[in-house]
Amino acid sequence: MSFELAVWHEPEPITREHAESVYRALRRGEPEAAAADPGAAGPAAEAQSAAVGTPSAAVEAPPGVAAFAARLPEAVLLSPAHALVVVEVERADEVAGAAFALARECGLVCYDPQRRLVHNPGPAGAHPGMQLHTGDGMIVTDPDLGLVRDVPATLSPENPFAALVVFGEHFVQASPEAGGYELEYKDSRRGLMLRTHVPALEAVRDAFAEYAAGGRGFLDRHEWQRV
């Protein structure tokens, strides 16, 4: 059993639905078909489709793809415009962390089909060096805001928590529990730890998105218990 990541360039951030359609085309051996599908991917894909014009544009060679494949030993080029990373599951966390960081440095999208999550090069949040941690082993430094909002949907018994952490300052964390989700916030500078229960996934998504963007509106919307 192996772990895979697909890497390529997009002119703007894309949805994970768009990323999934590109990945499926690549695994079918059809890199020329790895173009936007506006009906499946929404506004971001529609804009990308207008920018590229035809599927053949998808096989042009952005310089970042070759640089990525040259610098990551586990990467291979599927086409001049697409790379695939394949490793044993035991090495997934180690290699994925390096791949996420390198893809961002090279200005590339990185799609994780195991988690169905897309890592765009940006925009990043308001806290430089912020890390995203998940219970299934993913660690991402400076995650893009789209990824931050998508991650809570992956919470499950196999992925029992997700956290955004600015070490030494504060963090927000969510875990699934009966009837919804446990949401925690810690302000390390003030020695303050708060916990609440929210019934809906959207409340977790909003809290993560606000925290990453530098806001704290979620603290006012819920009733918290001090831990």
Report the C-alpha gap between 227 and 225 in whole angstroms: 6
Token digits of residue 78: 């599927």
Using alpha carbons, select from 142, 145, 164, 151 the residue that is nearest to residue 209. Answer: 145
Q: Are 104 and 87 in contact (CB under 8 A)?
A: no
pLDDT band for position 34 (cuts 50, 70, 90): confident
Which residue's entry shows tokens 């730890």? Answer: 193
Residue ranges of the domains in the chain?
1-121, 123-227
Q: Is 39 a residue whose pLDDT tops 80?
A: no
How many CB atoms lie under 10 A from the CB of residue 83? Answer: 29
Q: Are 127 and 212 in contact (CB under 8 A)?
A: yes
Over residues 135-146, the mean pLDDT reads 97
Strand partners, 180: 177
Q: Is 35 a residue whose pLDDT tops 60?
A: no
Residue 70 φ/ψ, nearest 5 degrees: -70, -30
Q: Is 94 a residue whose pLDDT tops 60?
A: yes
Q: What is the pLDDT of residues 158-214, one digit of tens each?
A: 999 999 999 999 999 999 999 999 999 999 999 999 999 999 999 999 999 999 999
Alpha carbon separation from 67 to 44, 76, 203, 224 (Å, rounded): 25, 11, 39, 48
Over residues 30-42, the mean pLDDT reads 58
Q: Is 32 a residue whose pLDDT tops 90?
A: no
Q: Is 108 a residue whose pLDDT tops 90?
A: yes
